[in-house]
Structures are given as structure tokens and as C-alpha cells.
Amino acid sequence: KLTLDKNIQFYLESALEKVYNKFNPISLTAVAVDPQTMEILGLANMPDFNPNKYWETKDQRNFMNHAVASQYEPGSTFKLVTLAATVEEGMFIPDEKFQSGSIQVPGRRLHDHNISGWGKISYLDGLKRSSNVAFVKLGLEKLGQDKLRQYIDKFGFGVKTGVDIPGEVPGIVNMRYPAEFATATYGQGLTATAIQQTAAYAAVANGGKLMWPHLIKEITDPESGEVLQQFEPKVVREVVTEQTAKQVGEYLEGVVSDQEIGTGKRAYIEGYRIAGKTGTANKVVAGQKGYAEGKWVISFIGYAPLENP
């Protein structure tokens, strides 16, 4: 017996199909979970295949479950880790101002997606506008390399989640130089899987607990109907306090609710409190150094309603 909810699964598949037909991306993945238990309620990929006639599939890559078996540079959705860490450590002061645009770190100059920046803005506006400079300042200058690494590990990146789906990869977290720690604060230069990211957000949504993601609820004997094995929700570890999680959720709500500058404003739904974060990561050219022109990994992670996701 699976944890899947057939309505959510159906909805995910039809939504992805529409997007796939409209934008023709290389691939699409969506995951929906219950953050309290990390039961997977829906999981879909495009392009897909018909499991009843799998031999008719032309491209072997369509057999890959990208939610667990593909790793990506997450980009700005990863800012959750830096944000939660600085809130937990009492270093995130929403009204404090910084100079946006660009920042010099040892060996590199890093920029916001709007290269000239928005002048002197608050850290809360930096979050809403998804300013990379804000997160370099928070993660590198305030937290420091060691603490940043601790929180990245705490949130479960760089290791497998142990999800009960075959083919899972751990992602790569391997920062050595200050510039690599700087880009890690906003999710570049390291890789993660969709299931890791979902579990990290669920940890904030549920009040601070990283949970084990799973798809199998129970195994029963087909003859006798007797339940042979049950899979209960498992807490991996507490990553932040409940108070921090609640505060982070309220900051992430602004990313969606601020219709003027929030990068997640399209996810706003009248009458609901929605927390979320957008991500746009450059794609690496296979076998080469540097990033591809005009190729992107675009993502959104959110949860609702904020009071009880």
C-alpha cells in the first residue's frame, strides 16, 4: 500500500503535461508530500512512459525517476538553508540594510541577477528579491564557513535520504575555497536532488524536524490480508527550533505575498497563506567548465497553508 493520494497524483501528472506541451523542456519533476510525515502524496516526471508497454519507449532516459536519481544545482531554493541557519543563530535582522548588486569574495566577484542591484535594501527585501549578495553576506560574513557547512549537513544535503525508491543519488557538497562557500549560500556549486530539497522544506514547514521520505505505507499478505510490515514516519533529526521554523515560514510567506517585489508572487492564492521560494540555476555544460548560455533549471518549492501545511 503506497502513501500516494490518487487525486494529487492525477493532478500533478495533468499539470506537468500541460507545462510540458507548452514549454517543451528537457524534463519536469514535481513532488508533493505531507510535511508532518514526509509521506509522498504525489510524484511525477515528464517525459514519462507507459509501464504496460515500456519496450516501446525510444529514450532510455525516460525511465529515470528524476526526483531521486537526478542531481541539480538547486539555485535560490537552497537559500532556505542559509536563511534558517541565520535565523536560528540570531543573525538575520530583517530591517538591517546592505548594498545590493555585487560583492567581492576572495578570488571572485559575485552578482545579483540584476547586476546593478537595487541600491541599499533590507535583508528581508533581499530575500523577497532573491538577492545573492544578501545571502553571501549572511552565509559567509555572518555565519562563517564552518557553521554554514554544519547547517547544510544538518538539512540532509550531500547524503542519501534513504527514500524507498531505487536509484537515489546523494548529491555533491564539496566546498573548499571561500568562493565556493559563498556560492553555496545561494545554491550554486553544489548539487541536490528534488527529494532532498522537499525534505528540507518540509523540515521548516513541520516545525523543525527533518523526516525520512517514504512511498510505501504497508505490506500485506495477499492471501490472508494480514499486515506484514508497516512503515511509520521517522524523524531523522531536529534541524532548527520550532520558533525558528515558524519565523522562517513567515519570511518565506513574504516572497509569495509581496505582489510588488516577491519573486514567488505568482504562487499567491487569495485566502491562503503560502510560503515559498523560487530558484533559477545556470546549467553546467556537460564535460566542460562554466555554465551554458540560456539554459536553466527553474524551480519552485512552497507549502500551504502556513499555519498547518
Helix (H, G, I), strand (E, B) or coil at 142: helix
Q: What is the pTM of this model?
A: 0.96
pLDDT single digits (tens) 33-74: 999 999 999 999 999 999 999 999 999 889 999 999 999 999
DSSP 30: E
Active site residues: 76
Q: Residue 8: phi, psi to the nearest 5?
A: -65, -40
Q: How far apart are CA 290 and CA 272, in angstroms?
A: 41
pLDDT digits (tens, 9 = 90+) for 181-210: 999 999 999 999 999 999 999 999 999 999
Q: How many Å apart are CA 211 and CA 199, to the nearest integer?
A: 7
pLDDT mean values, one per 10 residues, the chain (309 residues): 98 97 95 98 95 92 94 96 98 98 96 94 97 98 97 98 97 96 96 97 98 98 95 98 98 97 96 96 78 87 96
Beta bridge pairs of residue 17: none
Q: 152: which residues sit within 8 A by CB, 6+ positions away?
A: 81, 158, 173, 184, 190
Residue 249, amino acid: G
- In terms of DSSP bridges, do strands 227-230 and 108-111 run parallel, antiparallel, or are they unpaired? unpaired
DSSP 47: S
